[in-house]
Structure 1
Amino acid sequence: MIFLDVPKTGLNTPFQGGLVKDVAESVIKWAKDGLERRGLGESVYLNGLAEVVSTGATPAEKLLQMYNGKWAQNVDPVFEELRY
């Protein structure tokens, strides 16, 4: 069952002869096309999602990469580098 696999394998989860990533790309394209037809400049709000789908890396995965990489398994930098 796909809903059990997605939390583990994310966008790389096999689905109907492709990947969940393929479905996500299509959905973002449809949403972007629809928003652009409205002409209100709203499609920019999809840019973050489009980046996740194109790179395949979720924000959580990016944090884990930094934690296991340049942060040397120390959480303190999250408070310095990722201030909002």
Structure 2
Amino acid sequence: FDYDIIKSRPVLRNRRPGDYILIDRQGNRQKIKKFFINEKIPKEKREIIPLVADGDEIMWIVGYRQSKAYQITDKTTTIMEIEIYGGE
């Protein structure tokens, strides 16, 4: 992740109503609920998939997708690497 973009201390949490992720550099977003539906993730699994959030912004749907807002670019000077162990 581009460390310089992060505004607060990232936290690991479950989804909340209204959560979304940025899907492109133009600022288009997709609700996490719709992402899970499109990816055909079973309802019972959706509640246990962790999210990494910067305040209210989702940085990463762990194991699935990273927000375009936090991706490394040629302007990135500091990188933050997050590793999560466990799961399936």
> Structure 1 length as normaliser, TM-score?
0.28
Higher relative contact order (CA 8 A, sep 6+): 2
Higher helix share: 1
> Structure 2 length as normaliser, TM-score?
0.27
Rg larger for: 1
